[in-house]
């Protein structure tokens, strides 16, 4: 997974720009409001001499290109983005993109023949259409992109910094001198903030510097990532990274949270690689021993409790943060498979003044709509497993999509999330979705995640998994196999092929 993640962020690092200073620094204060953004992308195909190509070459390449817009919910986890395929009219790609904030950072990605080629970060702003021009060679290589005012290299630097912030070695988050844990939590915290935090910034920045135009929200993103990865999971990191059992420190140990800027114009501009949701869940799970779920407690009453609990760590507890924590508590309940009660729905409708409540209720409705997708779980760790024999024995006469994934694989989970709607549009007695994981996915984590995903789920040994990857020439996860009704292999590839190609392959095998 790490290799695939590094490949993905490297592609973004090479081909990323933002969409202009005047869009980033709007005078209108940001807020959580459901809406849409109109997006248009014009593709120019140039010859090797960077002149307009002939019409035949242009049509050939355009027919092979897919463009997607991606956004991330305020309650999403890392790489859990929402992807929408853009419509096409000749060399224009366009769409109306749902967003949750007046301003949020999303991206546009393009693939050629189903293979990811690049992407561009940009600021989506409601009520202001976004227009981009992309210049490509006849083989799909990027030449340049039209953007507004700012130097392109600065935004390439921004993307590399963001990528670096989520790909650092996690073992750096615990002190090398483990005896500090025996001294006190204060000794550990002092070392983490005085030594590890500067080291983390250095690792994230690499050879790049933070452009002044975006220093407020970009530096804040680094703080959010550091708090989520290092500061909040104190006990978890000591156990898993240092091999030590330690006591949970008091809330005073989390004063780093007070260094984060929670003003809407800064806090709501987290990027698609480091979401607010990860910070919110980490606060709820870890800070001060964790927070009780909101349950049927009225929102205002629960937020008063959260405010009091956070007080030793934070001089001010902004209403935006408290609202988001309450919303996240509901979302975690929904993700655990427990729908909202009628009392909770009323509390949500009464308890939020912005659209946080609408986002939570929509997630509940979506979860209920997906509940009919029952999961069949088989743990086959101790048994021999041959994929072809398995599908021939269990799915005679049925087309089968095989999704190789693991619980620790963020790109796997992102792709599974993206395919939810299209999977259900093909749902029926014939088409089988078979999900295969290996024993690198811990049994309990696999059972929990597999039950949420649905479909037929099997967990196999590492030897069987390695043999499966080798047989089909796969290089990692996620990987996919599409078998027709006679179980003849129609297509196989590592990495998600994109929604359009995925749908085309479903059509092909379902005939």
The residues facing 89 across adjacent strands are 92
122 and 148 Cβ atoms separated by less than 8 Å: no
Give the DSSP letter of residue 170.
Answer: G
The residues facing 94 across adjacent strands are 40, 87
Phi, then psi, of 65 in degrees rounded to 5: -95, 135
CA dihedral sign of residues 232, 236, 240, 244: positive
Tokens of 482: 């599409």
Give the DSSP letter of residue 249.
Answer: P
- Could you tell me the mean pLDDT of each successive run of 10 residues in the chain, 511 residues long? 42 40 52 94 78 67 86 81 86 94 88 75 86 82 70 75 88 94 96 97 92 89 95 96 95 97 93 84 96 97 98 96 98 92 97 94 84 77 93 94 90 83 71 93 89 89 94 92 95 88 89 83
Decide the pairing of beta strands 103-112 and 92-101: unpaired
pTM: 0.81
Phi, then psi, of 132 in degrees rounded to 5: -135, 145
Decide the pairing of beta strands 455-460 and 142-146: unpaired
Q: Dump the DSSP string for 375-412.
A: EEEEE-TTS---HHHHHHHH-TT--EEEEE--TT-HHH
Place of tokens 């615990």: 174
Tokens of 9: 């962020």
Q: How far apart are CA 153 and CA 159, in angstroms?
A: 10
Q: How far apart are CA 222 and CA 163, in angstroms?
A: 11
The residues facing 110 across adjacent strands are 67, 118
Which of 164, 183, 282, 175 is closest to 221 using CA atoms? 164
Q: How far apart are CA 31 and CA 39, in angstroms?
A: 20
pLDDT score of 156:
76
Q: How many angstroms separate the Cα of 143 from the Cα of each of 65, 70, 366?
A: 15, 22, 41
Class of residue 371 by CB neighbours under 10 A (exposed 0-12, middle 13-18, buried 19+)? exposed
């Amino acid at each position: 997974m790490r290799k695939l993640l590094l490949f993905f962020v490297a592609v973004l690092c090479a081909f990323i720009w933002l969409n202009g200073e005047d869009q980033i620094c709007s005078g209108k204060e940001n807020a959580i409001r459901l809406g849409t953004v109109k997006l248009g992308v014009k593709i120019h195909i140039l010859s090797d001499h960077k002149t307009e190509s002939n019409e035949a070459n242009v049509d050939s390449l355009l027919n092979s290109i897919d463009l997607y817009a991606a956004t991330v919910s305020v309650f999403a986890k890392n790489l859990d983005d929402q992807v929408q395929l853009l419509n096409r009219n000749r060399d224009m790609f366009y769409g109306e993109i749902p967003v949750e904030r007046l301003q949020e950072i999303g991206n546009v990605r393009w693939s050629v023949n189903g293979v990811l080629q690049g992407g561009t970060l940009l600021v989506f702003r409601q009520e202001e259409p976004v227009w981009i021009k992309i210049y490509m060679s006849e083989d799909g290589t990027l030449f340049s992109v039209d953007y507004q005012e700012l130097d392109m290299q600065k935004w390439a630097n921004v993307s590399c910094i963001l990528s670096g912030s989520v790909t650092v070695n996690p073992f750096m988050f615990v002190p090398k001198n483990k005896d500090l844990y025996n001294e006190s939590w204060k000794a550990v915290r002092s070392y983490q903030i005085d030594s590890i935090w500067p080291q983390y910034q250095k690792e994230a920045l690499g050879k790049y510097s933070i452009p002044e135009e975006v220093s407020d929200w970009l530096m804040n993103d680094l703080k959010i990532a550091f708090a989520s990865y290092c500061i909040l999971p104190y006990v978890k990191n000591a156990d898993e990274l240092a091999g030590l059992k330690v006591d949970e420190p008091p809330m005073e140990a989390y004063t780093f949270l007070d260094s984060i800027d929670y003003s809407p114009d800064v806090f709501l501009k987290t990027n698609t690689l480091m979401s607010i949701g990860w910070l919110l869940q980490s606060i709820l799970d870890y800070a001060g021993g964790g927070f009780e779920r909101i349950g049927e407690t009225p929102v205002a009453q629960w937020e008063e409790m959260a405010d009091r609990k956070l007080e030793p760590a934070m001089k001010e507890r902004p209403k935006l943060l408290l609202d988001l924590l309450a919303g996240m508590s509901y979302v975690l309940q929904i993700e655990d498979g427990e729908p909202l009660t009628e009392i909770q729905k009323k509390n949500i409708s009464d308890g939020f003044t912005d659209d946080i409540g609408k986002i939570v209720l929509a997630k509940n409705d979506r979860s209920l709509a997906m509940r009919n997708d029952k999961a069949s779980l088989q743990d086959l760790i101790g048994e021999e497993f041959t994929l072809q024999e398995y599908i021939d024995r269990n799915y005679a006469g049925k087309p089968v999509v095989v999704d190789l994934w693991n619980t620790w694989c963020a790109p796997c989970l992102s792709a599974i999330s993206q395919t939810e709607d299209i999977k259900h549009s093909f749902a029926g007695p014939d088409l089988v979705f078979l999900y295969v994981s290996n024993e690198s996915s811990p049994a309990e984590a696999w059972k929990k995640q597999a039950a949420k995903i649905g479909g037929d789920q099997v967990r196999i040994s590492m030897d069987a998994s390695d043999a499966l990857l080798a047989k089909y020439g796969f290089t990692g996860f996620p990987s996919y196999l599409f078998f027709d009704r006679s179980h003849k292999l129609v297509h196989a590839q590592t990495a998600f092929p994109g929604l359009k190609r995925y749908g085309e392959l479903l059509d092909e095998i379902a005939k």
